[in-house]
Structure 1
């Protein structure tokens, strides 16, 4: 009896695959994809200028806001951009930022890949920023996101 020969394709197909996820090198890669016009407006924001807001009052109509100088543009869920000029920026948004509104579950998905840190908290809203390191301590934020998720459901 002749030994059975495998061709190269069968050999490669039989090799075990590594399922370990590749960690992101830029936390902005974890953000939801947006229309090109919006991306052009907010693409210059660095990771430390991005805020993720989880609110118990979120209506899902606005999914992002641009806060820069007197501009307060909003990206609506249907992809339209509502361009706004604010008379004065709110105190907590005195510095330019890209504010992304999302559910606690979506924020937790991002947090699982790159640590988020609490930057502002009110009774029905929590705002997070990307930690300087993706592997920073996640315990406090994980607990807060779980509590917010329970209240959102």
Structure 2
């Protein structure tokens, strides 16, 4: 008598394609901010976000939005201050500049690779890499050194 294969056993034996994890949005890794600020920066794409890590950060300003000759700042107390941006500013291109500690930047870097971005002054500036899983080694080392300076 021929053995009949049970349909459930047959389906269970089929090779399953590897499930691809949903692509993470790098903007979801950024710190939550007051709703008024979130509305102000909602249009800024991930490629225009810059993360600044400085050993001399005072925490008075936590973010800046620079575009169209204007600069908006989110202060540590949650207030927003707007002002004109001089044309010779070190970041002339439109961007959302987020100031943070090296440890906070490292936590983002663990989930989405950061790469060095052009910057000036006493801070190191990073941006989201094109690919989530690029080589993290150089920036990881840089963030470790910055963390030591900040401690």
TM-score by length of 1: 0.81
Return the index of the structure with the highest Cα Rg. 2
| Cα distance change on mapping 1:124 and 1:94 into 2, 3 Å | closer
Deviates more, 1:118-127 or 1:139-148: 118-127
RMSD: 1.6
> Which whole-Å deviations, capped at 9, do the CAs of 1:85-129 have from their partners, x for residues lacking one?
123251x42211000000000000000000000113557310000
Q: Please name the residue that 2:118 is paired with.
A: 120
Structure 2 equivalent of residue 102 of structure 1: 100
Output the CA distance in 2 between the equivalents of 1:24 and 1:64.
26
How far does the alpha carbon of each residue in 1:58-97 deviate from its partner, in whole angstroms, 9 at most, with x for none?
A: 000100001102111100011000111123251x422110
Give runs of aligned pairs for residues 2-151 of structure 1, distance below 5 A. 25-90=24-89, 92-120=90-118, 122=120, 124-151=122-149
Tell me the secondary structure at the aligned position of residue 148 of structure 2: helix
Structure 1 residue aligned with 2:14: none
Paired residues, what number?
A: 131
3-state secondary structure, aligned to 1:142? helix
TM-score, normalising length: structure 2: 0.82
Shift of 1:40: 1.1
Unaligned runs of 5+ in 2: 1-20
Q: Runs in 1 of length 4+ with deviation above 4 angstroms?
A: none
Consecutive unaligned residues of structure 1, counting only runs of 5 or more, are 1-21
Q: Provide the secondary structure at the position in 2 that maps to 1:84.
A: strand
